[in-house]
Structure 1
């Protein structure tokens, strides 16, 4: 993986290809490249590749004076072979070039077979195998010689095992681009001057908002004038053309220094947008999750949440909510582990899959596994309405966080939490555990949430002042209890992702069972300290740290009676009651429903507030350390391979 763009245009495709790659930079990558078919007067396939950023590739392309109406381009995140120019895409076999997202599981056997035919490999990648395999189908080394590029690709993909999105061009047919999808996202763009392809809708916005999402098994032939599409059986087919709701301005940085900073500060609006359907509502309707939701919620006896990374921490937080409020058993599974163990299927269980992109390979595979076991009550919480996970579940809720560009998730996480709380309330209603007055009180707290998050954002100067203490540290420990333990996990993940400080999180009560051995003056200990039923126990845990020379950085609720001392730094979270000058005002939001000025928000929804403070801490520590905040090393935004 990581990003694909392709063009069959009536005009020079270079501007689109480079702009598309630049748009996809946020996904994380280590090298980039492109290939073009010759225009009149130019001999042979043209290719440029570079290790590093798209800007370096653009410089090479300009120096070479490259141009061409049909082309493909790629940003690579290394899976097979080190980050290096010889491993960068596109890969070539004769006059044919391929870019590929995904992983080919049987590439070693295919490579050996192709070497027996005389094909010479110059990279360490699985992708080069695809290029030679398509060429072998073209030449008749495998089966009968293919009639055209489409049939050659069709022949080749029949021999591939794994996940892939492909874009292929060939000197044999210089007017066309062929693409194929199996398990990795790929969509087409339909414009007045031609047809385009990309692995992310944002890369198409510079030329069109009219898009066609390919299904698994689809192969398409694109020319400037037409699209021909076949399914996995080789039969002609059609896919719906939609008009994307994405706005090109939404993926621009604006006045912010980094996308992560922008997205942290977009959280009040993202929450407001996501919760817009409860505007003025005195009670919730199950239909916000789909037409069948009410019937399904009445049937289920337990919940299984499946997710990866940050989304799994949202699920862990929801477990506390669902079991406390709805009285329903809830389990949370790491998607990458779920299908590799023996589990006990329960047809009356609601399976909830959570993914920002909706294309996370491990989560999608886990969903398929759950369905194969007989789980038929499925629900997706996702930020991308056209994604694979959304299309493959019975129920769904689309968060309205807007495009999230920074690799470290922020607004996607908090909007996921808000939706999971809505789900909790509806499950409680279905289980006869939520009376009308309590439901209204919870809805009022949800309506107040964007303003409450705005108050937390106003703490940025104080949090920024803490960042310098972390800059020269190698390790950090995060502590939380109860529903704030997953928030401690998320805080540790954010710090390690973008500052490269090794950070771990523990339930605070586990300190004396091992982690306390690590505590010294060089390991800062970050504590999430809400003013709830666990506070006194948490204060005792902090004493254990202080007694051993540890330095504490405590995010404490107003009124929590946690006080500062020589090695205890306390930052008080905003008073959740009332509206104070300097915070966000209700007219900062498109909706006028978030008017509450007298509701407490430090109860069950406290995790949403505390995680925003931890996001700001990680961001400012990374700034002090000078790391690449939006594109941390070795990471990709959308993990579309296992």
Structure 2
């Protein structure tokens, strides 16, 4: 079994531990908050921002760290970085205007991000050997959802169900994957599509669910799986089937639905003779050399 597959399988365990983590640094009721990240962490920033604002904790923006421009002032800034070393995240923290309360969510102790923040949430039990992130991002969202007041008593069971479930279609028959989300699950849809690209070098897309009919459906066909995360309207299934594609749904928690998509990405990689632990052109952290 690959490191990636082992880490996917460990998620019910890390989610159970997430409930014991103090996530209060992610709240800051009434504070205007910015969430920063790159790659997977940017997509998790999108989900976290939606969850925080929907829970009533205050205005929350999510920005890709490489695109951060210090125009607005924030009361609180949350930096998501598994390694604690990503250059764009560190640079964004250094360029923040004013004196916001700075929080890092990371998996590794003693890295450069520690010197740039006032508070840190260390999820070292969810760190990963694999370049491809799986359990760290889902665990940080479990911590956030618990901090925002959700009852997650069902989550571990749903995760176990996702590990035991049949994959939704034979990988031999799939040449195109589309992931759809709504609200906080849009970030999960983007993350699922990224897993397929990273692990399996395959064609994958992601969209807010109701935007799918505004153009993207044009490329769907018999080799397409269109995968829904969360409360995506059932009416889209008729559109998907009308294009000749196959809709995928289940009643599991969206984080567990992401586990199923992670498993599919690994299965597709193995079908293509690829090693998901060694994704093409990727490293664990992007560290840029300054000119």
TM-score by length of structure 2 reads: 0.91
Q: Alignment partner for residue 555 of structure 1, among 229, 241, 249?
A: 249
Please name the residue that 2:198 is paired with: 497
Q: Alignment partner for residue 546 of structure 1, among 234, 241, 263?
A: 241
Q: Alignment partner for residue 267 of structure 1, among 11, 34, 47?
A: 11
Pair 1:639-2:286 in alignment: yes
Gaps of 5+ in 2: none
Relative to structure 1, the CA distance from residue 512 to residue 272 in structure 2 (aligned partners, 3 Å threshold; closer, same or farther) is: closer
Pair 1:362-2:88 in alignment: yes
Shift of 1:608: 1.6
Q: C-alpha separation between the residues in 2 aligned to 1:276 and 1:377?
A: 23
Relative to structure 1, the CA distance from residue 342 to residue 363 in structure 2 (aligned partners, 3 Å threshold; closer, same or farther) is: closer
Q: C-alpha separation between the residues in 1 aligned to 2:42 and 2:152?
A: 21
**Which structure would you say has the larger RCO, counting Cα contacts within 8 Å and 6 or more residues apart?**
2
Pair 1:463-2:179 in alignment: no
Please name the residue that 1:622 is paired with: 269
Q: C-alpha separation between the residues in 2 aligned to 1:327 and 1:403?
A: 28
Please name the residue that 2:227 is paired with: 527
Give the 3-state SS of the residue equivalent to 2:189 in structure 1.
Answer: helix
Shift of 1:448: 4.5
Give the 3-state SS of the residue equivalent to 1:620 in structure 2.
Answer: helix
Q: C-alpha separation between the residues in 1 aligned to 2:16 and 2:132?
A: 21
User: 1:199-226 CA distances to partner (integer Å, 9 max, x unpaired)?
Assistant: xxxxxxxxxxxxxxxxxxxxxxxxxxxx
Pair 1:454-2:155 in alignment: no
Pair 1:353-2:79 in alignment: yes
Task: Work out which of the two has the higher radius of gyration on C-alpha atoms and give 1 or 2.
Answer: 1
Please name the residue that 1:82 is paired with: none
Give the 3-state SS of the residue equivalent to 2:80 in structure 1.
Answer: strand
Please name the residue that 1:487 is paired with: 188
Contact 2:2 2:277 in 1 (8 A): yes
Q: CA RMSD in A?
A: 2.2
Shift of 1:376: 2.6
Q: Alignment partner for residue 65 of structure 2, among 335, 338, 349?
A: 335
Please name the residue that 1:397 is paired with: 121
Q: Alignment partner for residue 260 of structure 2, among 564, 588, 613?
A: 613
Q: C-alpha separation between the residues in 2 aligned to 1:513 and 1:465?
A: 26
Pair 1:322-2:52 in alignment: yes
Contact 1:397 1:419 in 2 (8 A): no
Q: C-alpha separation between the residues in 1 aligned to 2:213 and 2:84?
A: 40
TM-score by length of structure 1 reads: 0.43
Relative to structure 1, the CA distance from residue 623 to residue 479 in structure 2 (aligned partners, 3 Å threshold; closer, same or farther) is: same
Q: C-alpha separation between the residues in 1 aligned to 2:57 and 2:100?
A: 22
Kindly tell me the number of residue pairs found equivalent between the two proteins.
289
Shift of 1:263: 0.4
Gaps of 5+ in 1: 1-256, 279-283, 426-438, 558-572, 574-605
Please name the residue that 1:386 is paired with: 110
Please name the residue that 1:171 is paired with: none
Contact 1:479 1:485 in 2 (8 A): yes
- 1:200-599 map, 5 Å: 257-277=1-21, 286=24, 289=25, 297=28, 301-338=31-68, 341=69, 343-346=71-74, 349-370=75-96, 373-423=97-147, 425=148, 439=149, 442=150, 445-459=151-165, 462-463=166-167, 466-470=170-174, 473=175, 475-522=176-223, 524-530=224-230, 532=231, 535=232, 538-549=233-244, 551-557=245-251, 573=252
Relative to structure 1, the CA distance from residue 541 to residue 335 in structure 2 (aligned partners, 3 Å threshold; closer, same or farther) is: same
Contact 1:271 1:401 in 2 (8 A): no
Contact 2:31 2:59 in 1 (8 A): yes
Please name the residue that 1:592 is paired with: none
Q: C-alpha separation between the residues in 1 aligned to 2:31 and 2:80?
A: 20
User: 1:555-608 CA distances to partner (integer Å, 9 max, x unpaired)?
Assistant: 321xxxxxxxxxxxxxxx4xxxxxxxxxxxxxxxxxxxxxxxxxxxxxxxx332
Give the 3-state SS of the residue equivalent to 1:628 in structure 2.
Answer: coil
Relative to its length, the structure with more helix (as a share) is: 2
Contact 1:485 1:507 in 2 (8 A): yes
Contact 2:168 2:248 in 1 (8 A): no
Relative to structure 1, the CA distance from residue 422 to residue 387 in structure 2 (aligned partners, 3 Å threshold; closer, same or farther) is: farther
Shift of 1:544: 1.4
Relative to structure 1, the CA distance from residue 529 to residue 311 in structure 2 (aligned partners, 3 Å threshold; closer, same or farther) is: closer
Contact 1:351 1:375 in 2 (8 A): no
Shift of 1:521: 2.2
User: 1:22-66 CA distances to partner (integer Å, 9 max, x unpaired)?
Assistant: xxxxxxxxxxxxxxxxxxxxxxxxxxxxxxxxxxxxxxxxxxxxx
User: 1:348-378 CA distances to partner (integer Å, 9 max, x unpaired)?
Assistant: x2100001111111111111111xx113311
Give the 3-state SS of the residue equivalent to 2:280 in structure 1.
Answer: coil
Shift of 1:482: 2.2
